[in-house]
Amino acid sequence: MTIAEDTIRETPTHSASSERIVDMHDVRLEFQPGVGVFDLSLYVPDGAVFGLVGPSGSGKTTTVRLMLGVYHPDEGEIQVLGEEPARFHNRTRERVGYMPQQFILYPELTVRENLNFVASLYGISWFQRGKRIDEMLELVELKPAEKRLASKLSGGMQRRLQLAAALLNRPRLLFADEPTAGIDPELRSRVWDYLQEYRAQGNTLFITTQYVNEAAYCDLVAVMRAGRLMTVDTPEGLRRRALGGEVIALTVAPERTLETVRLLEREPGVLRTHRIGSQPGRIHVYVENSGEMLPDIISLFARGSDIDIQQAEKYEPPFDDIFRILMQQEDERDLAEVMT
């Protein structure tokens, strides 16, 4: 599946002329029959935060390793920064940062010693090295722990150290494979703050995550399942795709719920309604455009009913719910194909 050009146009931070930092076409890598990644087609615009979301084992890490040139595809084409990853020039490779899923730095070196070693691998001069390391330590809030052994850091601090190491050479493109895996929600939010700050400097990020709600931080999101891309869209586009539109949440007196639903379903522009059983009196109203329909719905009850609308607002369900709905829709499509 390829991102449509109108998806890019609808993304507020990009234009249709954005440079393609990553471009994949019909990529397949099969480790054994039915195991691998299949028919991968996507592109990442310049300056975007691109999220690859999916459950553990869906093929996210394999996809990143293909983009880095660690794996070679059986079929298809991959271009990263205008080059085939397996044939990166040294200067191109220096523009790519990688934060792997597992901690791979040296446990018996201190935080600063680890960063100093990484800086030497990148060829950062002694003159630049101290300042660059200090910048990274400040960014990930590890300056107070710079003399601590990496083995003595908490899991969250180790993730931040790895992020600092990945950013040390100021890469044009950063791949971060599940950068928030195994850390608490507050720290996950802070890691995303670091990533957003780096993006604000004009860089591009490709992030994998199994925390579906992190899709909200991304400009574009690819949903992956069993080695295949289900869809690629903006976060808002994913919501619309899952819900078939937008949602307005109404709250009325529980005893007026049925009457409210009947009135709503006669209103042009209302696609369907859903009563929330766990919250008496709460109704979700599905429409094409909530901003346009909300005033009309409020006016409907003001002029033609004595039903008191206690609350009326646009409702955006969490991405956990969106992801579950998308998966259910995919299951239904698979079942329909089997039946036919």
Report the share of the chain in percent with pLDDT over 70.
Answer: 94
Distance of CA 262 to the CA centre of its chain: 38
Helices 290-304 and 257-265, axial angle in degrees (round to 10): 120
- Per-residue pLDDT of 238-284, as tens digits, reads 999 998 899 999 999 999 999 999 999 999 999 999 999 999 999 99
pTM of the complete model: 0.82
- Per-residue pLDDT of 182-199, as tens digits, reads 778 888 888 898 899 889
Task: Please say whether the beta carbons of 18 and 3 come within 8 A.
Answer: no
- Per-residue pLDDT of 17-64, as tens digits, reads 368 999 999 999 999 999 999 999 999 999 999 999 988 889 999 999
φ, ψ at 27 (rounded to 5°): -85, 135
Q: What is the DSSP letter of 114?
A: H
Q: Which residues pair with 24 in a beta bridge?
A: 42, 78
- Per-residue pLDDT of 88-99, as tens digits, reads 998 898 899 999
77-113 in b/e burial notation, b at 16+ Cβ within 10 A? ebbbbeeebeebeeebbebbbbbbbeeebeeeebbbb
Three-state SS string across 145-201, please?
HCCCEHHHCCHHHHHHHHHHHHHCCCCCEEEEECCCCCCCHHHHHHHHHHHHHHHHC
* 228 SS3 class: strand
pLDDT at 336: 75
Match 């109704």 to its residue by tokens. Answer: 283
How far is the C-alpha of 286 from the C-alpha of 160, rounded, in Å?
41
